[in-house]
Amino acid sequence: MLPDLTPEGYLPVGVHSANWDELQLRFGRATSRRLWLFRELESIVALAAATKKLRRVFIWGSFVTAKPAPGDLDLLLVMSDDFETEQVDAVSRPVFDSTRAKLSFEADVFWTRASIGAEVLQIWLETYQTSRDLRKRGIVELELP
């Protein structure tokens, strides 16, 4: 279960797990902008999952805050070690191209292979827990089926 937001509107520092229903209830339906971004998130994850190589999804930024109109989506896709973008079909390819993802989904999509290891992943996750104004905040790991 996701913890309550801080008085500043952020999740407490840490990586918090949530399933789709919980994520939508908390962050994906309070405003039309949030509903639209949630649908874009669903599309991105579905396209990544269609590769059969998706292992983990992390979400941070204004979408997982109290902000009524988040600017965009920010997420990290962790793919299996044998994932190759050259093998991705044309429909899913925009997810793995940062410029196309931004234009297609209003999302900053980062991806890596699981082989980066726990230590490097932890450094990335700690970085994503720092906002532009240098405040620490939590992020969400989406529970995949």
Q: Could you read off the pLDDT of 57-93 as tens digits, one per residue?
A: 999 999 999 999 999 999 999 999 999 999 999 999 9
- What tokens were used for 80? 């299996």
Q: Are 96 and 109 in contact (CB under 8 A)?
A: yes
Q: Encode pLDDT of 92-120 as tens digits.
A: 999 999 999 999 999 999 999 999 999 99
How many structural domains comprise the chain? 1
- Given a cut of 90, whether residue 131 has pLDDT beyond it is no
Backbone torsions φ then ψ of 132, nearest 5 degrees? -60, -30
pTM value?
Answer: 0.96
Q: What is the mean pLDDT of residues 41-48?
A: 98
pLDDT score recorded for residue 115: 96
Contact 145, 20 (CB under 8 A): no
Residue 120 lies in a domain: yes
CATH code of residue 66: 3.30.460
Q: Is residue 5 part of a domain?
A: no
Domain membership of residue 105 (yes or no) is: yes
Is residue 4 assigned to a domain? no
pLDDT for the residue numbered 145: 86
Question: Does 103 fall in a domain?
Answer: yes
Look at residue 84 and tell me if it is in a domain: yes
Q: Residue 22's domain spans which residues?
A: 15-142
In a domain, 80, yes or no: yes
**Amino acid in the structure at residue 47:** L
